[in-house]
Chains A and B, each alone.
Chain A
Amino acid sequence: MITERQEELAALHAFGLLEGAERTEFESQLATNAELRALVASLAETAALTALSAPQIDPPAALKERIMSAASATVPATDKVAPFPILKFAPWAIAAGLALAATWLGTQNFSLRTENASLRTERQLAETAYKMAKNQLSERSFLAEQMITDLGNKLRKSEDLARLKVTALASLAGNTKEAQVIAVWDPEQQTGLLTMEKLPPINDSQDYQIWVVDPAYKDPVNGGVFHVSADGKIAIPFKPDQPIALPAAFAISLEKKGGVAKAEGTIVLLGK
């Protein structure tokens, strides 16, 4: 069954007027439709006959001679296979085959070498890129680690500060009114730091003694003795003799040289 559309395309095809999508569409139909192919062949013959409607003119007589002469210089493609002396030409054929094979192998060798060099270059480039990426990553990793460490330190400092107990000691004696004493206590480390200014100097037979008041103990716990210089400035770390669970207060007393086990002298400074 041939449709009107197919007839139309067949007619246009017969005149060589099909182009682009129409031509593609029609040729794909032709490939699978024998009836359509027959119609196309028939219409092509009819279209060719249209040539005869042209005014008939004899070609110049010299044209035939020209054509025959030109034809003598060429050989038509023959439809028959001429006998071929295989044995006579076998060595040449083998030699030609070997030459072709050698050429092919040479070409392949060159091609593979080129390909190998290319791959090597690609590998080197990839390695360089990998190293660069790795370095960048290391740098970033180092920076990140530094940042983390810094943040950790800051956090630790914050935690430390939060953990520390800071107490200002007030003067209880008339001669220490101008004294400024700060006690900082680290419960985790069980250590403390006293910073003092304008603490009155004392004679060599006496010492200031540090006391930490903890409700867990009946008496204040000894924190050690110290002596101030003439300017009254001193920063002294101290560590109580007993573990301190709850530092309720810090005190400084004036004791005999070397201190005492239990506070006996005057409490000159006290802070809670």
Chain B
Amino acid sequence: MERKNFLKSLIIGAASTSVLAAACKKDDTASTTSTGSSSASTPPSSSNGCAVAPTETEGPFPTHTPASYVRSDITDGRTGYKLTVKIIILSNSNSCNPLANALVDIWHCDKDGNYSEYGGSGMQATDYTSVHFLRGRQTTDTSGLVTYTSIFPGWYSGRSTHIHVHVYNSSGTSLKVTQIAFPEGSGTALAQVNGYSKGLTGYTYNASDNVFSDSYATEIAAVTGNTTDGFVLTMSISV
């Protein structure tokens, strides 16, 4: 009886592991509603002290599932020119050798300049608060490399085109928060995309951008390609 009940306790959502087959001989009291107490998994007792025991066929057993952010293709239905993003993470404390097993989150706006997880406010009118497009997470390999498939970002007032990057160690401790800038000038990807349907009137260039203006030489990626075949962005980031 003991072993059978131990197995039952492994069922997803099955009630308290402390429930024994001889539940009716135990006086199980229901957990109280104090803050900080754990889930009400102990079946409450009825007036004569008997409690219903969970009795269901075992399984399926829970399996580790990565967060939905963990994906290489972050396009998520957004339209735009294809952009492959390759980022190499290097370790300052290890002679700028590649850093493996780092978690790298990237995110950027869509072709119209809108972000997922934001909206309905002055900063962004379009409400995308419950979607997660153009956000993704990858883990660096032994070469320190992460790769994403995305679209070339659009732009919004006050900022030059950019991609946000947050690098963590494998335990989730933040190592660096930074942004990637794009090369400017005739023939560059930025010029070819030309701001999608918005054009580039009123665009803020890197030298005037409040994040990049003092140091964009180190934050500019290398971008190759064209609107037909798509673009490839390569960037090294030291943490």
Query: Are both chains from one complex?
Result: no
Measuring CB to CB, which residues of chain A are less than 8 angstroms from any residue of chain B? none
B: residues with CB less than 8 A from A are none
